[in-house]
Amino acid sequence: MISINTNKRVIGVTFDASGTASAVLWAPKAKQVELLIPGKDKIVSLVCKELGYWTVETSDLQPGDLYYFELDGKKQLPDPASLSQPDDVHGASQALDLSSFAWNDASWQQFPLKDYIIYEIHIGTFTPEGTFAAAEEKLDYLIELGITAIEIMPVAQFPGNRNWGYDGVYPFCVQHSYGGARGLQSLVNACHNKGLAVILDVVYNHVGPEGNHLEAFGPYFTEKYHTPWGNAINFDDAWCDGVRRFFIENALMWFRDFHIDALRMDAVHAIKDFNPTHILQEIRQNVDLLMQQTGRKHYLIVELDLNDTRFINPINKAGYGMDAQWIDEFHHALRVASGQERTGYYSDFDGVRSLAKSYRDAYVYDGAFSEHRKKFFGMKTENAGEQFVVFSQNHDHIGNRMLGERTSQLVSFEMQKLLAGAVMVSPYLPMLFMGEEYGEKSPFLYFVSHTDPELAEEVRKGRKQEFEAFHMEGEAPDPLSEETFDRSKLQWESVEQEPHQTLLNYYKELISIRKSQPPLCALNREELSVEHDTESQVVVLRRRHGAQEIICLMNFSSQEQPVDISVDASPWYKLLGSSDPKWGGAQEMPAQVTRGSALALSPESITLYANQYE
């Protein structure tokens, strides 16, 4: 295991209490390294230490100064561990002292993971201004909605001002156009003072193409493995220790210097590592050390396209120790149940049958044959409900559609309410995508601002090929166009209009019920039963906690459906009926039901009854 100082960041430029700068650069094949400070016309030579690390301490470099590294007297390059790129990805790095931010969140208490109700945002399109400061102005809105944690899509510096964030090329650097490091620190501080946890999306499986100078410094990539983005990041080939340290230090920096509460690690199935200690496990071990030192709790959540419990099992059970994972399979099953098309990977899912299985077993494919993959896939899981994140939509499943349609553009108003309810009554961690709570109509399209014409054309061609797999015809909006980006911004004025306001109030009520009713917030997968009827398209989910039980009646069909809920003789009380007129529906469900009550479920509806109030 690499020896890491979890107390402070070591690589890159740091400052001590006296203001002296320390510069540490990993360049194992370089013969000479110099630090250039153009604003002061200064050149400072670094000394090579063990394992290819070059270091120097100097008072010539101060916070705010621009600088480059020069290797072997050749091209001047920004710092791979740069904290600021005010002149975009090709310009000079800017020295920052992260410790100078005046935090006042000492009283913040991290939520237990089971209490996370997550709201995913893209900083550039969440507000008209597209900045961290503007996002701060929306925090009270999120608190009133009932959100407990925001998840910020990647903010590592990317080329230009428009990008989803997955083309970042400086993992330590916060996007300058969003407000940079200070802007993110301020947003996290504000969140904590208002009672919100912060999850940051990070990308450790690839680095973006434009402005990626890492290979000039060292063997950051390996030809041993290939990924959708080219050669894999070098986590297990020659000189991999420097690369591993780079990303371990990155994870620690977000927790320690930005007070981030959890990381969501993008597509970890694309990380190639056959070391005895997987890089995720090593990140877990170092984060555990940091938590022991600071007393703060931090979570590691992964996006994972493998139904493999190794990733979320604890280290003492031969796992990698991740706290939770996204499960797309719940989303796929829910989407097909709602009547949307079964193309591409959705073809593997069978509507309410698959949804019922996901409620019960988390993974839909837990060893069964996948026709789409043409192989047996997945494994069974007994992991706790809080280890799975579910959603009815997210940035990928909207933005990877050719026209970027949100669920509000694909299904009826009644189905939107049903989908929201289906997520909130699950025994898993619920996540919303920004704007879904009021039925945002603007698309969320794929957008970038690459300046290299050849790269831009490759992006356009790649998008076209991707849509061919889903048998889509027509032309996708140009991802390089600023208009595509502007169309993806939330239209906040619609919140005050109907039916958006009714839907927003429905979400508030739904989240409140989720948080206040023990059977729904306990996330106990053992105290759950589910039945489904493929003909009527009805799913009956029961959640229990002690003596209290909640029955969730979901009708995914477009017709009214009778249902026998087999309740006991005592009255059951309605907690919510999505078809009630107060939520814009056409049928008021009974306030109470008892044994023998005849219930007819409205089309595309969810109704919740409890055997007792809490």
Q: Describe the strand order of the beta sheet including 12-15 as a list of residue ranges.
A: 12-15, 21-26, 53-58, 47-48
Instruction: Outline where 488-565 has alpha helix (H).
Output: 500-516, 518-521
Picking from 293, 287, 278, 284, the residue whose alpha carbon sits closest to that of residue 260 is 287
Which comes out higher in pLDDT, residue 45 or 597?
45
Backbone Cα Rg of the chain: 25
Q: Which of 66-75, 155-164, 397-406 has the lowest mean pLDDT?
A: 397-406
Could you say which of 88, 266, 361, 604 is catalytic? 266
CA–CA gap between residue 256 and residue 374 (Å, rounded): 44
Share of the chain above pLDDT 90, in %: 86
pLDDT tens for 475-512 read 778 888 999 999 999 999 999 999 999 999 999 999 99
**Structure confidence at residue 597 (pLDDT):** 74
Question: Containing H/E element for 289?
Answer: helix 279-294
Under the banding of pLDDT at 50, 70 and 90, the label for residue 420 is very high
Say which residue the tokens 């700068």 belong to: 21
CA–CA gap between residue 346 and residue 404 (Å, rounded): 17
CA–CA gap between residue 156 and residue 254 (Å, rounded): 11
Q: Which of 115-129, 244-258, 513-527, 594-608 has the lowest mean pLDDT?
A: 594-608
CA–CA gap between residue 491 and residue 419 (Å, rounded): 22
For range 182-211, the mean pLDDT: 97
Distances (CA, A) of 33 to 72, 221, 431: 6, 21, 46
For range 543-547, the mean pLDDT: 93
> Are 427 and 359 contacting, i.e. CB atoms less than 8 angstroms apart?
yes
> Are 191 and 138 contacting, i.e. CB atoms less than 8 angstroms apart?
no
CA–CA gap between residue 378 and residue 416 (Å, rounded): 30
State CA 330 to chain mean position distance: 16
First to last CA, the chain: 49
> Are 203 and 266 contacting, i.e. CB atoms less than 8 angstroms apart?
yes
Could you say which of 201, 303, 386, 414 is catalytic? 303
Q: Which two tokens stand for residue 332?
A: 């796929």
State CA 28 to chain mean position distance: 34
Distances (CA, A) of 309 to 142, 273, 304, 378, 426: 32, 17, 10, 9, 19
Distances (CA, A) of 72 to 31, 34, 215, 486: 6, 8, 15, 44
Note if 475 is an active site residue. no
Which comes out higher in pLDDT, residue 22 or 593?
22
**Structure confidence at residue 327 (pLDDT):** 94
pLDDT tens for 341-365 read 888 889 999 999 999 999 999 999 9
SS3 251: helix
> Are 601 and 561 contacting, i.e. CB atoms less than 8 angstroms apart?
yes
CA–CA gap between residue 522 and residue 386 (Å, rounded): 9
Picking from 548, 541, 549, 560, the residue whose alpha carbon sits closest to that of residue 599 is 560
Give the number of other CB atoms < 10 A from CB of residue 413: 18
For range 138-143, the mean pLDDT: 98
> Are 288 and 314 contacting, i.e. CB atoms less than 8 angstroms apart?
no
User: Which residues share a beta bridge with 88?
Assistant: none
CA–CA gap between residue 282 and residue 569 (Å, rounded): 55
Under the banding of pLDDT at 50, 70 and 90, the label for residue 66 is very high
Picking from 319, 300, 301, the residue whose alpha carbon sits closest to that of residue 309 is 319
**Structure confidence at residue 472 (pLDDT):** 57
Give one DSSP letter per residue of 372-436, joined into a string.
TTTEEE-------GGGEEE-S--HHHHHTSTT---GGGTS-HHHHHHHHHHHHTSSSEEEEETTG
Picking from 410, 391, 412, the residue whose alpha carbon sits closest to that of residue 401 is 410
Picking from 72, 98, 91, 76, the residue whose alpha carbon sits closest to that of residue 13 is 98
Question: Containing H/E element for 294?
Answer: helix 279-294
Say which residue the tokens 């958006």 belong to: 500
- Whether the pLDDT of residue 464 is over 70: the answer is no
Q: What are phi and psi of 302, to 5 degrees?
A: -120, 145
Picking from 346, 309, 327, 306, the residue whose alpha carbon sits closest to that of residue 430 is 327
**Structure confidence at residue 142 (pLDDT):** 98
- Whether the pLDDT of residue 130 is over 70: the answer is yes
> Are 548 and 611 contacting, i.e. CB atoms less than 8 angstroms apart?
yes
For range 242-266, the mean pLDDT: 98
Under the banding of pLDDT at 50, 70 and 90, the label for residue 402 is confident
Q: What is the maximum span of the chain, computed from C-alpha positions, in angstroms?
A: 87
SS3 234: coil
Which parts of 216-311 are beta strand (E)? 221-227, 230-233, 262-265, 299-303
For range 585-598, the mean pLDDT: 87
For range 211-232, the mean pLDDT: 92
Under the banding of pLDDT at 50, 70 and 90, the label for residue 471 is very low
Note if 266 is an active site residue. yes
- Whether the pLDDT of residue 267 is over 80: the answer is yes
**Structure confidence at residue 451 (pLDDT):** 82
> Are 280 and 321 contacting, i.e. CB atoms less than 8 angstroms apart?
yes
Q: Domain residue spans in the chain?
A: 528-610
Say which residue the tokens 């097909």 belong to: 336
CA–CA gap between residue 422 and residue 330 (Å, rounded): 10
For range 30-57, the mean pLDDT: 96
- Report the chain's mean pLDDT, rounded to a whole number: 94
> Which fold is adopted by the domain 528-610?
Immunoglobulin-like (2.60.40)
Question: Containing H/E element for 70?
Answer: strand 66-71
What are the residues whose beta carbons fall under 8 Å from the beta carbon of 186, sequence distance 6 or more? 101, 132, 133, 136, 179
Give one DSSP letter per residue of 121-168, joined into a string.
E-HHHHSSS-SHHHHHTTHHHHHHHT--EEEEPP-EE-SSS-B-STT-
pLDDT tens for 527-538 read 999 999 999 999
- Whether the pLDDT of residue 332 is over 70: the answer is yes
